[in-house]
């Protein structure tokens, strides 16, 4: 497998970095000019109170203040426009990049990590919004305004400047805990608790319809309620531990506290003649601005932590190993399938298949049977290259699967599994997935062969009906749509993972007829859970513990009195017990 790039937050933001810098520059200018109206008030107030108003000077400050206010509003609007457009483009870019990457990862990984991929696409990409659209503007403004205010206030009075600096400095000292490993660990635990609650909620919603049919609603409800209670208990302890920090910082940074300090410290200084009364006005107006960086640090830190965590998960997904594609794809010569000393191990090192040698001839049906966990489905999915073999090779027409690109491989192999997935698109588009250029007549012919044409015609818009939540199809009907899709592909090799196992009895006969037509003239590999359904197979491969222990036709395997004969006897015994229990 090839290993993809593992970018960090900086790399993820690279496509919009130039626009973010431009927006930050606009924010610097907007923040600086935004101080002019306050400075104008501070400069005009002494003149107004002294009754010595200089109209020319007053007009200058009035025009400067009004012009600065207009420029500030324009700068803020332009900066936010730039960052929001950058955020929109970044989300589009990342979702397209993730989708392209997911198209290249092993399907076995995608099946096991579907919820992870969904979370990254639905939540984590969106979690970058605050980081991109708001945080740059807020942080720049929060740094520039206080710095400019501080410079101006120092020219008025050093003692009063120290007074208004005290609250943000104390708040900053209080917030130092946010940089500690303990706090970061707590934030990660909070994120994990929220993720666990989200997963429990999703499982509850997805499972409720199924378990109701078995009268097991209480169990699912109990599991969900426990997840809710666990999160509530954790969040309560979180609030008890950290709420005091947030409350104290909010008080220290409140404008009312700064104003109170200005009066408490300023009145005595005025009384002893150190300050003029009007010199308190700049501190009352600009003092609260000195607290802005600390407040932004608190809120921005949360956005930054969340953004970094989301970026880490996005990067991890983009770093998932992909199936290597050959520089030059080879075309197979025929539809003979050979498994040659095939081993397969999971990433954790646990070996599932050991030295499988098996040949599938065109026009024949090979059935894979064995106990649960024997490796049947794993071996079948390797033929569709859901993952790469750990050792050995799988060849189609003499060509190793790894020497074909995906398009070439899926022209050779079609598969129908127990769970058929359909797109939120029209029936026609779903059936044409394997052959987008297929004519309507060809699609209808495949649907008739799959015993599903009449049901499609009964839909509101026939083949153009949209497959959405409001359109109810039974499991058997969905299965037959999957069979029609595979039939339309014309692939010479067919992989079936017990396509009728989850079907209702009314649908099973129709599905079996459709599968019989689909298998005609093809190289067919079937994962069989009911031995009675594959008695006529040209070849039955028996797996046990990931090894091929027997191979032959039904009668010959029974006469051998080996593993297959034991499986057959157990199935017949179960069937007899079931028939005996019926009234």
The predicted pLDDT at position 4 comes to 40
Most confident of 172-186, 202-216, 553-567: 553-567
The predicted pLDDT at position 83 comes to 87
The runs of H, that is alpha helices, within 423-474 are 427-431, 440-449, 453-457
Instruction: Give me the DSSP letters along 494-556.
Output: EEEE-TTTT--HHHHHHHHHHHHHHHTTSEEEEE-S-GGGGTT-SEEEEEETTEEEEEE-HHH
Domain locations in the chain?
9-192+254-318, 337-422+486-581
- Rounded alpha-carbon distances, angstroms, from residue 31 to 36, 150, 155, 191, 390: 9, 14, 20, 34, 60
Q: Is 9-192+254-318 CATH 1.20.1560.10? A: yes
Average pLDDT over residues 460-484: 80
The C-alpha atoms of residue 106 and residue 320 are separated, in whole angstroms, by: 9
The predicted pLDDT at position 38 comes to 73
Average pLDDT over residues 251-278: 82
The predicted pLDDT at position 424 comes to 81
- Look at 17-31, 142-156, 245-259, 524-538 and tell me which has the smallest mean pLDDT: 245-259
The C-alpha atoms of residue 300 and residue 306 are separated, in whole angstroms, by: 10
Average pLDDT over residues 169-191: 73
Question: Of 422, 382, 421, 372, nearest to 402 (Cα)?
Answer: 382
Confidence of residue 395 (pLDDT cuts 50, 70, 90): very high
The predicted pLDDT at position 360 comes to 93
The predicted pLDDT at position 6 comes to 38
The C-alpha atoms of residue 513 and residue 529 are separated, in whole angstroms, by: 18
Q: Using DSSP, state whether 399 is helix, strand or coil.
A: strand
The predicted pLDDT at position 112 comes to 66
CB of 330 closer than 8 Å to CB of 405: no
Residue 80 has pLDDT above 70, yes or no: yes
Question: Of 174, 191, 185, 190, nearest to 295 (Cα)?
Answer: 174
Confidence of residue 391 (pLDDT cuts 50, 70, 90): very high
The predicted pLDDT at position 547 comes to 93
> For 36-79, how does the pLDDT look when each residue is reduced to its tens digit (9 = 90+)?
777 777 767 776 666 666 667 667 777 877 788 788 888 888 88
CB of 153 closer than 8 Å to CB of 161: yes
The predicted pLDDT at position 509 comes to 61
> For 295-351, how does the pLDDT look when each residue is reduced to its tens digit (9 = 90+)?
666 566 667 777 777 888 888 888 887 777 888 889 999 889 999 999 998 877 788
> For 98-147, how does the pLDDT look when each residue is reduced to its tens digit (9 = 90+)?
888 887 777 767 766 777 777 787 778 887 887 788 778 777 777 787 78
Q: Residue 121 has which token pair?
A: 């696409």
Mapping DSSP onto H, E and C, the string for 320-352 reads CCECCCCCCCCCCCCCCEEEEEEEEECCCCCEE
> For 500-523, how does the pLDDT look when each residue is reduced to its tens digit (9 = 90+)?
554 555 555 666 666 667 677 788
Residue of 222 and 236 predicted with greater confidence: 236
The C-alpha atoms of residue 62 and residue 40 are separated, in whole angstroms, by: 7
The predicted pLDDT at position 302 comes to 66
- Rounded alpha-carbon distances, angstroms, from residue 490 to 43, 439, 478: 84, 14, 20
The C-alpha atoms of residue 491 and residue 518 are separated, in whole angstroms, by: 10
pTM over 0.85: no
Percent of the chain with pLDDT over 90: 10
Residue 198 has pLDDT above 70, yes or no: yes
> For 339-383, how does the pLDDT look when each residue is reduced to its tens digit (9 = 90+)?
999 999 887 778 899 999 999 998 888 889 988 888 888 898 899
The predicted pLDDT at position 396 comes to 94
- Look at 199-213, 431-445, 478-492, 508-522 and tell me which has the smallest mean pLDDT: 199-213
Residue 3 has pLDDT above 50, yes or no: no
Count of CB atoms within 10 A of residue 222's CB? 10
Average pLDDT over residues 275-290: 79
Residue 438 has pLDDT above 90, yes or no: no
> For 421-435, how does the pLDDT look when each residue is reduced to its tens digit (9 = 90+)?
777 888 898 888 878
Confidence of residue 178 (pLDDT cuts 50, 70, 90): low
Q: Which residues contact 250 (CB under 8 A, 6 or more apart)?
A: none
CB of 487 closer than 8 Å to CB of 446: yes
Instruction: Name 360's bridge partners.
Output: 337
Mean pLDDT for all residues in the chain = 79
Percent of the chain with pLDDT over 70: 83
Q: Is 337-422+486-581 CATH 1.25.40.10? A: no
Average pLDDT over residues 232-251: 74
The C-alpha atoms of residue 250 and residue 487 are separated, in whole angstroms, by: 66
- Rounded alpha-carbon distances, angstroms, from residue 164 to 251, 254, 276, 370: 14, 12, 17, 78
CB of 382 closer than 8 Å to CB of 342: yes
Confidence of residue 2 (pLDDT cuts 50, 70, 90): very low
């Amino acid at each position: 497998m090839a290993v993809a790039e593992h970018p960090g937050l900086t790399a993820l933001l690279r496509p919009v970095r130039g626009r973010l810098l431009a927006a930050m520059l606009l924010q610097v200018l907007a923040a600086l000019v935004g101080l002019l109206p306050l400075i104008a008030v501070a400069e005009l107030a002494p003149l107004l109170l002294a009754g010595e108003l200089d109209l020319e000077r007053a007009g200058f400050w009035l025009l400067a203040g009004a012009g600065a206010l207009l420029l500030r509003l324009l700068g803020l609007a332009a900066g936010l426009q730039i960052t929001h457009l950058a955020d929109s483009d970044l989300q589009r870019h990342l979702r397209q990049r993730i989708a392209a990457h997911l198209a290249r990862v092993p399907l076995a990984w995608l099946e096991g990590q579907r919820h992870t991929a969904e979370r990254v696409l639905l939540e984590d990409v969106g979690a970058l919004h605050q980081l991109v659209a708001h945080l740059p503007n807020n942080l720049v403004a929060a740094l520039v305004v206080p710095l400019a205010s501080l410079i101006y206030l120092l020219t008025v009075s050093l003692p009063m400047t120290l007074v208004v600096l005290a609250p943000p400095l104390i708040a900053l000292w209080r917030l130092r805990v946010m940089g500690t490993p303990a706090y970061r660990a707590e934030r990660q635990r909070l994120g994990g608790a929220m993720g666990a609650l989200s997963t429990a909620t999703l499982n509850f919603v997805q499972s409720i319809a199924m378990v109701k049919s078995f009268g097991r609603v209480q169990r699912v409800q109990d599991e969900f309620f426990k997840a809710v209670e666990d999160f509530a208990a954790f969040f309560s302890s979180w609030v008890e531990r950290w709420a005091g920090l947030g409350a104290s910082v909010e008080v220290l940074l409140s404008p009312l506290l700064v104003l109170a300090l200005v009066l408490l410290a300023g009145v005595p200084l005025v009384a002893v003649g150190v300050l003029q009364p009007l010199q308190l006005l700049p501190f009352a107006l600009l003092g609260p601005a000195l607290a802005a960086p600390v407040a932004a640090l608190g809120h921005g830190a949360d956005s930054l932590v969340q953004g970094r965590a989301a970026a880490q998960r996005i990067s991890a997904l983009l770093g998932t190993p992909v199936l290597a594609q050959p520089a030059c794809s080879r075309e197979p010569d025929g539809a003979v399938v050979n498994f040659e000393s095939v081993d397969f191990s999971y990433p954790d090192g646990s070996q599932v298949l050991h030295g499988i040698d098996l040949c599938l001839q065109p026009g024949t049906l090979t059935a894979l049977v064995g106990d649960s966990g024997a490796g049947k489905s794993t071996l079948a999915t390797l033929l569709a290259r859901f993952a790469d073999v750990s050792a050995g090779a799988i060849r189609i027409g003499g060509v190793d699967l790894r020497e074909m690109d995906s398009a070439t491989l899926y022209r050779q192999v079609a598969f129908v599994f127990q769970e058929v997935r359909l797109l939120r698109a029209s029936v026609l588009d779903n059936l044409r997935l394997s052959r987008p250029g297929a004519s309507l007549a060809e699609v209808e012919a495949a649907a008739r062969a799959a015993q599903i044409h009449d049901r499609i015609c009964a839909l509101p818009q026939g083949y153009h009906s949209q497959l959405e939540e409001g359109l109810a199809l039974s499991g058997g009907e969905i299965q037959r749509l999957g069979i029609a899709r595979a039939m339309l592909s014309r692939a010479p090799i067919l992989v079936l993972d017990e396509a009728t196992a989850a079907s209702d009895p009314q649908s099973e006969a129709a599905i079996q007829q459709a599968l019989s037509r689909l298998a005609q003239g093809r190289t067919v590999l079937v994962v069989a859970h009911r031995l009675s359904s594959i008695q006529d197979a040209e070849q039955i491969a028996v797996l046990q513990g990931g090894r091929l222990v027997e191979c032959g036709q039904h009668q010959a395997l029974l006469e051998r009195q080996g593993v297959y004969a034991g499986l057959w006897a157990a199935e017949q015994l179960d069937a007899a017990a079931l028939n005996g229990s019926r009234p």
